[in-house]
A and B are shown apart, each in its own frame.
Chain A
Amino acid sequence: MPRVPERHYQRRSMAAVVVYVAIVMLARAPAREATSLPLQMLYALLPVVPMIYVIWLLAQRIRASDELEQRTHLIGLGVATGVVAIISLIGGFLAAGKILSLQGAASFLLFIFPLLLLVYTATRAWVARRYGIDALCDDDGVPAYQKFLIGALLLAAVAVWVWLKGAGDFELGMLAGMAAVLAVAALLFGLRRWRRRNARRVEP
């Protein structure tokens, strides 16, 4: 399979995440208000579609990677699968023991996929560093600071939407906190990029 620029996958993944957030926000009310069960299920499961697309993109990306990249991807996915499996098991036992309510278990399950992606990204970056690769700053990818900035803006938009809908302080605080963390990460990666560019300019 011919190599495809990282930018190609990253732009599509980010677009899919934006679509996902939009669907989650827009399909929530119709899912509750729909009168027939099939329609209710359709609205409830609509956010899964962009996530299936993200998984398909990831598979395509791994297929088109070279052997070293595949190694880092597969170690990242292996560790992420292990972490998610253990956390799911803990959640399952807590729900079975009625320590966690069904509503709590459902919220728990919603965080499984983002957690998998987070652990996969972190592990891959850590493994890649051993080979002298900066996995967060691919040569031909979208710069890391831009990725964090988009994430921060997206979460901030959701936080505003949640605030307008009159949601609880916990939800609002969590979203605003995550947006702030991503904004700080964007700033730090932006500064690092700027310093590296300046250093390269100084070199003879």
Chain B
Amino acid sequence: MNNHLRALRAQRDWSQSDLAERLDVSRQTVNAIETGKYDPSLPLAFRIARLFRQPIESIFEPGKD
């Protein structure tokens, strides 16, 4: 799964730690999601979408597999 989390975070000038605090996860988890190493659960994806006020499908999109 691909995502635009890094770009959205950069638009708001937030660090990974800032975003992690807002999502109540660790900074390393934010990094794993941004680098595509970890696909978040549906509840966390909804939290991300709500935080950035965007629909989930505009943040996350299916990858090649």
Contacts and interface: CB of A to CB of B under 8 A. Distances in A.
Interface of A: 2-3, 65-69, 128, 130-134, 138-139
B41 A67 contact: yes
Contacts of A2: 24
B26 interface: yes
A68 B29 contact: yes
Interface of A is mostly: loop
B32 A131 contact: yes
Contacts of B37: 130-132
Which of B24, B28, B32, B37 has the most A CB atoms < 10 Å from its CB?
A: B28
A68 B31 CA distance: 11
Contacts of A69: 26, 29
A127 to B, nearest CB: 11
B25 A66 contact: yes
B54 interface: no
A66 B32 contact: no
Contacts of A65: 26
B38 interface: yes
A132 B34 CA distance: 11
Given A131-B32, A132-B32, A133-B32, A68 B38 contact: yes
Given A68-B32, A132-B31, A139 B26 contact: yes
Contacts of A138: 28
Contacts of B38: 68, 131
A65 B24 CA distance: 9
B26 A132 contact: no
Contacts of B29: 66-69
B9 interface: no
Interface string B19-61: 0000011111101100101101100100000000000000000
Contact of A3 (B24, B31, B35): B24
Contact of B35 (A66, A128, A132, A139): A132
A188 B40 CA distance: 34
A3 B32 contact: no
Contacts of A130: 37
A138 to B, nearest CB: 8
Contacts of B17: 139
Contact of A132 (B25, B28, B41, B44): B28
